[in-house]
Amino acid sequence: MKNANLIGVIFLSLALAAGVTGCKHRPPSVTPIPDDTGGPPKPAAHASPDNGGVAGTPAPVTTDTIPLSNGDYAPLFEGAHNEDRDKFKADTIYFDFDSSTIKESEGAKLQDVANYFKDNKKVEGLIMEGNCDERGTEKYNLSLGERRALAAREYLANLGVDPHRLKTVTYGASKPVDTGHDEAAWKQNRRDDFVLVTPK
């Protein structure tokens, strides 16, 4: 399993390198293989030579994008379902200004969400809602909010959650938690909310 994991990481690195050097080519679709026994693969998005890269390890690895497909999550999300906004309220993650990078401080919350899905064999899903503060123009914020939701989706998939159960939505700056116009408000609004979806 560790080996399989390592191969997966190398494959991701190659896919990323191909994406960077050959812009004309479509990036390969990479879906991480869930690893139920060997512990979650360590998300590598924050690894860098400066902050703990072990000597001899490969260059920092960034998670690749994971394509979205309707077939797999359509029945769950588009059929009759309940949405529970409280279940993961404490796991709302926050972002730095104009950034979609998952901060290390938010990792434990995502691990908490991932644990729920790993322990739970029922057909449940998660709506991941990306939000922004008001300091971007509307259409820019919509794309940034989607990128924030996708960043969390990639992170959870790397922790072993089936990405087909993870649906992203962006609200840009349309759903602020705090309507103030200062950093105290803005930092509450740069967030991903997670909504548990269960079939009716």
From the CB of residue 5, how many other CB atoms can be counted at a distance below 10 Å?
A: 17
Residue (113 or 127) nearer to other proteins, CB: 127
Q: Which stretch binds other proteins (CB under 8 A): 50-58, 62-70, 88-96, 111-119?
A: 62-70
* Nearest in space to 168 (alpha carbons), one of 186, 187, 193, 190: 193
Q: Which one of residues 95, 100, 158, 196 is an interface residue with other proteins (CB under 8 A)?
A: 100
Q: What is the CA radius of gyration of the chain?
A: 17
Q: Which one of residues 5, 34, 35, 134 is an interface residue with other proteins (CB under 8 A)?
A: 134
Say which residues have a Cβ less than 8 Å from residue 95's Cβ, sequence separation at least 6. 101, 103, 148, 190, 191, 192
Distance, CA of 78 to CA of 72 (rounded, Å): 11
Q: Is 143 in the site for other proteins (CB under 8 A)?
A: yes
Q: Is 68 in the site for other proteins (CB under 8 A)?
A: yes
Q: Which one of residues 8, 11, 15, 19 is an interface residue with other proteins (CB under 8 A)?
A: 19
Q: Is 173 in the site for other proteins (CB under 8 A)?
A: no
* Nearest in space to 34 (alpha carbons), one of 65, 69, 13, 4: 4
41-60: contacts with other proteins (CB under 8 A): none
Q: What is the dihedral of CA 86, 145, 160, 125, to 10 degrees?
A: 40
**Cβ at position 157, least distance to other proteins in Å:** 10
Q: Which one of residues 135, 185, 198, 199 is an interface residue with other proteins (CB under 8 A)?
A: 135
Q: Is the dihedral of CA 93, 97, 100, 104 positive or negative?
A: negative
Residues that bind other proteins (CB under 8 A): 19, 23-27, 29, 62, 64-70, 73, 77-78, 97-98, 100, 134-140, 142-144, 146-147, 150, 154, 167-172, 174-175, 179
